Amino acid sequence: MKDALDRLIAGELPYILVGRDDFPDKTILLPGSFNPLHQGHEGLLLAAERATDRDGLLELSVTNVDKPALDIIEVERRLLQLKGRYCAVLTRAPTFLEKAAALPGAWFAMGYDTAIRLLSPDYHADVPAMLETFRALNTRFAVAGRLHAGAFQGLENIAIPAGFEELFIPIPENLFRADVSSTELRGEIGS
């Protein structure tokens, strides 16, 4: 694994599949840092599989838009918590556009807050062009609601640009709701 990780980090491999030999035909990926993996991740992945009838994988990128790159030791530490429980794909794709380009046809699971950032002009200068790229790559997004600004908010509370609504699939609250975050959990355990 170390050789493959070195090659991924160096940009010589587009991704590494962990825990299975082949990529599922119909995949839904849950991107995250998994620091730590928690019940919210697990519940969202299961709900996304149910809502889309796709095989779920966790996706861990060794590079991130908002955080420092992960080194091999940190990647191995995060993968250890998945061992025997979840399959994963490792990428070096920090943005959803890069993830979709590296893994065409894969769909993504996300919470309300991530969907808001995905559609924000603050993150993407030309949101319609970005969405058109996702359409061309057959990328879709399953979106779960989340407690946001004191109220539970779901896909119905997001302004999706006209003509792109089919790219977004709601995960109903009765299928998944977990008001937990990795940041809060790390704060509770003091790391």
Task: Cis check for the bond before 121: say yes or no (omega within 30 of 0).
Answer: no
For residue 141, give Cα distances in angstroms to 28, 48, 161.
9, 9, 14
Could you read off the pLDDT of 26-67 as tens digits, one per residue? 999 999 999 999 999 999 999 999 999 999 999 999 998 888
Stretches in the chain below the pLDDT threshold 50: 185-186
**pLDDT score for 186:** 47
Amino acid at 24: P
Domains within the chain, CATH numbers bracketed: 2-189 (3.40.50.620)
pLDDT tens-digit map of 114-123: 999 999 999 8
